[in-house]
């Protein structure tokens, strides 16, 4: 292995350490943080699908029945159902644990403070 490859491996290991996300020890708080991230990913994906539809000429109210966009609507509908399922799960976990999502995210923020790309 050349010194350049070794250096690249060291850089990759350092990047993994710096960017590794730490979650709270409390299982309920950890799950709340993970579900919030999952909900955010769905939300961003829905926004991207809508953006693609608009770039292809979608007009709200006019093209709602257009077959060219039905697959996109099916995908968005499925993701919104998943987001509703996540919301129900979050509500159940919050009720059982007595901890809110905001508290869990704050704990996660405190654990990860100073671990961004500027912290080396």
18-51: pLDDT as tens digits:
777 888 899 999 999 999 999 999 999 999 999 9
Higher local confidence (pLDDT), 19 or 58: 58
Q: Looking at residue 116, what is its pLDDT?
A: 60
Number of domains observed in the structure of the chain: 1
In whole angstroms, give the CA distance from residue 117 to residue 120. Answer: 7
Higher local confidence (pLDDT), 8 or 116: 8
Assess if residue 118 is contained within a domain.
no
SS3 63: coil
Overall average pLDDT of the 8-27 stretch = 83
Overall average pLDDT of the 64-85 stretch = 91
In whole angstroms, give the CA distance from residue 14 to residue 77. Answer: 40
Assess if residue 69 is contained within a domain.
yes
Assess if residue 61 is contained within a domain.
yes
- Among 101, 117, 118, 116, smallest CA distance to 31 is for 101
Assess if residue 117 is contained within a domain.
no
Record the pTM.
0.75
Assess if residue 11 is contained within a domain.
yes
Range of the domain at 52: 3-112
């Amino acid at each position: 292995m050349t010194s350049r490859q070794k250096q690249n491996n060291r850089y990759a290991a350092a990047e993994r350490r710096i960017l590794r996300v730490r979650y709270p020890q409390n299982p309920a708080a950890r799950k709340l943080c993970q579900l919030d991230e999952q909900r955010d990913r769905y939300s961003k994906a829905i926004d991207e699908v809508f953006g693609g539809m608009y770039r292809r000429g979608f007009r709200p109210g006019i093209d709602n029945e257009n077959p060219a966009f039905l697959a996109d609507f099916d995908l968005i509908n499925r993701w919104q159902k998943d987001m509703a399922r996540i919301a129900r799960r979050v509500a159940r976990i919050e009720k059982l644990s007595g901890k809110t999502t905001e508290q869990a995210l704050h704990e996660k923020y405190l654990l990860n403070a100073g671990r961004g790309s500027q912290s080396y």
